[in-house]
Amino acid sequence: MNMLKTTMLLAALTALFMALGFTIGGTGGAMIALVIAAGMNLFTYWNADSIVLKMHGAREVDTRSCPEFVGLVQDLARRANLPMPRVYIIDSEHPNAFATGRDPAHAAVAATTGLLGMLDRDEIEGVMAHELAHVRNRDTLIMTMTATIAGAISMLANFGMFFGGGRDRDGGQVLATILAVFVAPFAAMIVQMAISRSREYGADLGGAQISGKPRALASALAKLARGAAHIPNPVVERNPAAAALYIVPGLRRSGDSLFSTHPATENRIAHLEAIANEMGVLTPAPNFAAIPPARAGASSVPRTRRRTSALDPNGR
């Protein structure tokens, strides 16, 4: 069912891309759009990991440069019965993490220095287990491909605004072009958000099962949501489609609305609380409302907790 849904959503985006091409350039435009969409899918399939990692300026680490963090990921990958992914760190105060790659054998996971300095070990373990669940569920490729096509649809719509409408003498065609400019990016966004929201719950469940610490993941989500909403993320500001890749979106808007890239953090915490009860976990649930918001440009973790650790590459 998951694969069928993925195929249908990608087909819908491709069809939307072709329809926009037809609106701008007729049958020839539709065929060109199909070729472009196929080329983007093929290119993204083979280069999904490098695209995302270069976008974030991520640097690869190993057991020599960051032994505790890499060792933590190794242990989780072993528990998840996955090949060891490449591990990256992003030098950014914005607290977040993501996974990428076309399949488990070519996967990579990344966390920001802001995340590593904000969370304790159990919470980091829960976050990285969540990302490995995305790898195991084969979510990483579809999220990158969808974000790429959605961005291309918006770009093509803008192209149609400047080059398509000016040569149209038929009023109906002009109206169709105008509608395409506004409706196509909107529809692409809806499809992208639908994919992201549905998969986050599955990755939360998988992360709880891999780590065995659903409440640590819930606590991490609460802290990350507070911090990410107040600490700027330059990558998302340049490319909003990237928000769907993260464990928390890093955008100011929140909630389970049609326009949110992720389920509301409160709903995810409630979901993890139910999982914890089913697993018989006895640790207390996190109080989302009690966690103070972070100041812009700074970590929300109290300075008394900022200690030197191999999990924090900045030595904070």
- Tens of pLDDT, residue by residue over 103-158, are 899 999 999 999 999 999 999 999 999 999 999 998 887 776 776 666 666 666 66
Dist. CA 173–CA 227, nearest whole Å:
47
3-state helix, strand, coil in the chain (%, to 5): 65, 5, 25
Is 192 exposed, middle or buried (CB count within 10 Å of its CB: 0-12, 13-18, 19+)?
buried
Dist. CA 6–CA 10, nearest whole Å:
6
Q: Which pLDDT score, from 0 to 100, does residue 98 have?
A: 95
Q: Which pLDDT score, from 0 to 100, does residue 165 have?
A: 47
Report how far apart, in Å, the C-alpha atoms of 195 and of each of 139, 217, 294 are: 9, 21, 29
Instruction: Give residue-wise pLDDT tens across range 190-249.
Output: 666 666 777 899 999 999 999 999 999 999 999 999 999 889 998 888 777 678 789 998
The answer to whether residue 296 scores a pLDDT higher than 50 is: no
Q: Which pLDDT score, from 0 to 100, does residue 280 have?
A: 83
What pLDDT band is residue 7 in, cutting at 50, 70 and 90? Answer: confident
Which residue, 141, 228, 236, 147, is CA-closest to 193? 147
Q: Which pLDDT score, from 0 to 100, does residue 67 have?
A: 95
Max mean pLDDT among 20-29, 139-148, 201-210, 286-295 falls in 201-210
Dist. CA 248–CA 243, nearest whole Å:
8
Domain ranges of the chain: 2-291
Q: What is the model's pTM?
A: 0.77
User: Mind telling me the catalytic residues?
Assistant: 131
Residue ranges of the annotated binding site are 130, 134, 200
The answer to whether residue 73 scores a pLDDT higher than 90 is: yes
What pLDDT band is residue 71 in, cutting at 50, 70 and 90? Answer: very high
Is 221 exposed, middle or buried (CB count within 10 Å of its CB: 0-12, 13-18, 19+)?
buried
Q: Which pLDDT score, from 0 to 100, does residue 314 have?
A: 60
Residue ranges of the annotated binding site for Zn(2+) are 130, 134, 200
- Pairwise pLDDT comparison (158 vs 268), residue with the higher score: 268
Mean pLDDT, the chain, integer: 78
Instruction: Give residue-wise pLDDT tens across range 50-64.
Output: 888 998 999 999 999
In the chain, the percentage of residues whose pLDDT exceeds 90 is 40
Dist. CA 42–CA 10, nearest whole Å:
13
Dist. CA 246–CA 18, nearest whole Å:
29
Q: Which pLDDT score, from 0 to 100, does residue 251 have?
A: 64
Q: Which pLDDT score, from 0 to 100, does residue 291 have?
A: 47
Q: Which pLDDT score, from 0 to 100, does residue 77 have?
A: 98
Q: Which pLDDT score, from 0 to 100, does residue 176 have?
A: 57
Q: Which pLDDT score, from 0 to 100, does residue 256 have?
A: 57
Report how far apart, in Å, the C-alpha atoms of 66 and of each of 77, 107, 128, 140, 316 are: 17, 19, 15, 24, 14
What pLDDT band is residue 78 in, cutting at 50, 70 and 90? Answer: very high
Query: Taking a C-beta distance cutoff of 8 angstroms, is the pair 163, 29 a contact?
Result: no
- Pairwise pLDDT comparison (309 vs 307), residue with the higher score: 309
